[in-house]
Amino acid sequence: MSINCFGCRYTVAPFTISNQCDKNDDVVICLCTSQPAKSEFDTKVQLRKETYVRTNKIHTICRSQLLFRIDHQFGPGEYEELINKLKRALDLKA
């Protein structure tokens, strides 16, 4: 399974939570950073640099603000860990 990380006009790259086939103008993102984890909701992914997805930093932006795509293949269990942290950040049942 792969994730889509996009660069945008913000100072950090977001992790996009969206179906690629959905052509709506808005997408939901989680912020990403190279700064070390600050909370239990941060999940490490290895892109070109070690990157942390801040699953509790959720925003909606316009799809046109996304500048480029970086494909990433998760290792075993990584995707599930990210989704579980996102569910906990949103207080959803895992």
pTM of the model: 0.73
pLDDT at 19: 66
Which CATH class name applies to 2-89?
A: mainly beta
Cα angle: 27, vertex 92, 89; to 5 degrees:
65
Q: What is the mean pLDDT of residues 6-35?
A: 70
pLDDT at 37: 92
User: Residue 55 above 80 pLDDT?
Assistant: yes
Q: What is the mean pLDDT of residues 48-77?
A: 84
Compute φ and ψ for 91, nearest 5 degrees: 60, 40
> 79 falls in which pLDDT band (50, 70, 90)?
confident
Instruction: Please give the structure tokens belonging to residue 41.
Output: 């909701």
Supply the mean pLDDT for the chain: 78
Q: What pLDDT digit, counting tens, does each position of 20-29 carry?
A: 667 778 888 8
